């Protein structure tokens, strides 16, 4: 069994593996619209992937991927980023790969001077990183508990989150 060795920025040679693992990771996900691979491709083409990290095993194979892109928030605070999608090969899930990718990515965002990060996701999973739902932060009528934020530098943003157009264009 391959073991997580390192997390590093994606390289051009990783693109096909990232697409394949993203599709595999979300294939059985009932909450997915199965556009995650196209979203990452669209962000990459638009040069909007602020951070695109891969988890690599001790044999050099990619175990998982996480993407971060800029978002805007209605209240106007800059320096905010969206986390996602995050993908791990099904055979490597529940082994800490996703947790390691998210933690490393958040550390890198802080080092870049980000003010914070938002996401749409499972409160039970993302709460361990300090993400919390905030009813004053919204996304298209999604229930507030799934719209979460992690503030690095106050103030917390308020209002509707807008993701990069690649999230809309993906089909």
Determine contact, residues 53/100, Cβ cutoff 8 Å. Answer: no
Q: 106-118, pLDDT tens digit by residue?
A: 999 999 999 999 9
Distance CA 170, CA 166 (A): 6
CB-CB neighbours of 5 under 10 Å: 14
Contact 38, 22 (CB under 8 A): no
Kindly compute the dihedral angle of the four CA atoms of residues 115, 121, 126, 127, in this order, to the nearest 10 degrees. 90
For the chain, 171 residues long, the average pLDDT of each consecutive 10-residue run is: 82 95 77 73 94 93 95 94 91 88 97 96 92 94 93 95 85 47
pLDDT of amino acid 28: 66
User: Looking at the whole model, is its pTM more than 0.85?
Assistant: yes
Are the C-beta atoms of 103 and 51 separated by less than 8 Å? no
Residue 42 structure tokens: 């669209």
- The pLDDT of residue 36: 81
Strand 132-133 with 72-73, pairing: unpaired
pLDDT value at position 4? 66
Of residues 34, 43, 59, the one with CA closest to residue 10: 43
Query: What pLDDT is recorded for position 27?
Result: 74
């Amino acid at each position: 069994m391959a073991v997580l060795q390192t997390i590093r920025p994606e390289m051009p040679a990783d693109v096909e593996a990232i697409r394949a693992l993203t599709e595999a990771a979300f294939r059985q996900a009932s909450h997915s619209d199965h556009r995650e691979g196209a979203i990452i491709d669209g962000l990459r083409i638009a040069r909007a992937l602020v951070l695109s990290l891969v988890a690599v095993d001790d044999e050099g194979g990619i175990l998982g991927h996480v993407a971060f892109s800029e978002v805007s928030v209605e209240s106007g605070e800059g320096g905010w980023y969206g986390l996602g999608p995050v993908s791990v090969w099904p055979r490597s899930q529940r082994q800490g790969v996703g947790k390691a990718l998210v933690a490393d990515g958040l550390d890198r965002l802080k080092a870049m001077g980000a003010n914070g990060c938002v996401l749409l996701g499972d409160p039970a999973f993302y709460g361990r990183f300090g993400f919390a739902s905030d009813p004053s932060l919204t996304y298209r009528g999604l229930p507030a508990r799934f719209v979460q934020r992690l503030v690095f530098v106050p103030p917390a943003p308020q209002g509707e989150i807008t993701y990069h157009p690649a999230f809309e264009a993906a089909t």
